[in-house]
Amino acid sequence: MCGEVPYRACVNPLMANICHRLFCQRRAGSAFAEVVIFSLKNADLSGLPCQVHEHLSDEIGRWLRLEFFPRRGATVGWTAQRWSGLRGVAGGTSETMNRVQCRRHRWTRPAPRWIVFPASVECLESKGLTD
């Protein structure tokens, strides 16, 4: 939002998903979160330092470290215990992320009833970023 926490992704993402977990809904402040995953070495957060909040999932018992810029409050990226060596980047944080095509909707059970899942994507009821 403010451009003070630029990041750079050197290659195409390894995967891009839409997550409907309640935690992801709350983290994104929306009905779902766009999750774009890169190798840790290929996605670099730079600029002003981010703050980190560690969340221990009550659904799966693993940690997720959220990186956010305190002045704007938006989550920029995260790392997860289950996905060592990978970095998630919030899909809505960059204009170039709009070109990334999400191929899966995960944790679909808590999705709002008005969500219509495209027929062309895989839908998984209980699989999330850190499962």
Per-residue pLDDT of the chain (131 residues; tens, 9 = 90+): 555 556 666 678 888 899 998 888 888 888 999 888 888 888 877 666 778 889 888 777 889 898 887 776 778 888 889 888 998 888 877 666 666 778 899 989 999 999 999 898 899 986 544 44
Residue 2: predicted pLDDT: 57
What pTM value is reported for the model?
0.77
Buried b (16+ CB within 10 A) or exposed e, 68-105: bbeeeebbbbbbbeebeebbbbbbbbbeebeebebebb
Residue 48: predicted pLDDT: 61
Residue 111: predicted pLDDT: 93
Residue 8: predicted pLDDT: 66
Residue 50: predicted pLDDT: 78
Residue 98: predicted pLDDT: 63
Cα pseudo-dihedral 69, 70, 74, 76, rounded to 10: 20
